[in-house]
Structure formats: C-alpha cells, structure tokens
Amino acid sequence: MFRNNQDIHYCKELVQYFSLITDKHAFFHPAIQFIKEEPEDRVRCWGIDILELIGGDEAFDFLYDLLDKEDKDTKKKYRNTRFFALRSAKHLAVSENQQTKLNRLLKHLNSSCGRE
C-alpha cells in the first residue's frame, strides 16, 4: 500500500480526511508502530504527518527522539522521514522548553553537518 504515485495521492487525501477527526489520540500508538515498522522512507512520512495532526507532547517527544537518537546508518536510510519529522517537530514545539530543546538539536545537527 502507498507504493506508487497513485497511492501517494490517495494517502494525501486520507491525511486530509484524518485532519477532520476531532479525537485523534486513539491513532497515536498505531502511527508510532507504523513509523517503526515501515521500511520504505517515503511511506514512513505518512506516519509523521499523522503524528503532527494528532499533536501534543507525546508526538513532539517521539519526533524529537527520532531526530536525536537514530544511528548514522538509520539517518542515511530515512532522510525523508527525518525531514518531515523536523518539520512536524517545529510545528509541535509550542512550549518554551520544547522550542529550546529543538533549537539545541538543530544547532547540533548543523554542526555535525559542518555548517554552523
């Protein structure tokens, strides 16, 4: 599922419909499981979008950990996932503490890429 361009288009529609659901938290753990188990990078991004729509501290913490704690090989394998996770974490960083944590992580990521 979600393996070709037609499926990706369908997935985007599903995300739009999902955004209309009032109580999204019941989908939190399935979204986490999906991200952890899905091997294809561009497909994993769908789970990141869902987490962003669910929102909250738990979603931010998961995305932050995903960005901060993955090993070098995993980082290379899942570049799209990490990009979407960064975008979503930025949107979910509503408290001053979350914004500070994310800014520290961004500074670290920049320095590890040779760009400070």
Instruction: Mark residue 32 as left, alpha or beta (left: phi above 0; alpha: psi -120 to 50; beta: remaining).
Output: alpha
- Mean pLDDT over each residue of the chain, to the nearest integer: 86
Q: What is the dihedral of CA 72, 89, 105, 45, to 10 degrees?
A: 10
**CA 42 to CA 64: how far, in whole Å?**
19
pLDDT tens, position by position, 46-83: 899 999 999 999 999 999 999 998 778 888 889 999 99
In the chain, the amino acid numbered 79 is R
Can you give the pTM of this predicted structure?
Answer: 0.82
DSSP state letter for 78: T
Q: Is the pLDDT of residue 42 over 90?
A: no
Token reading at 14? 């599903």
Domain ranges, ordered by start, for the chain: 5-112
pLDDT of residue 1 exceeding 50? no
More confident residue, 6 or 79: 79
Q: Is 82 within 8 Å of 74 (Cβ atoms)?
A: no
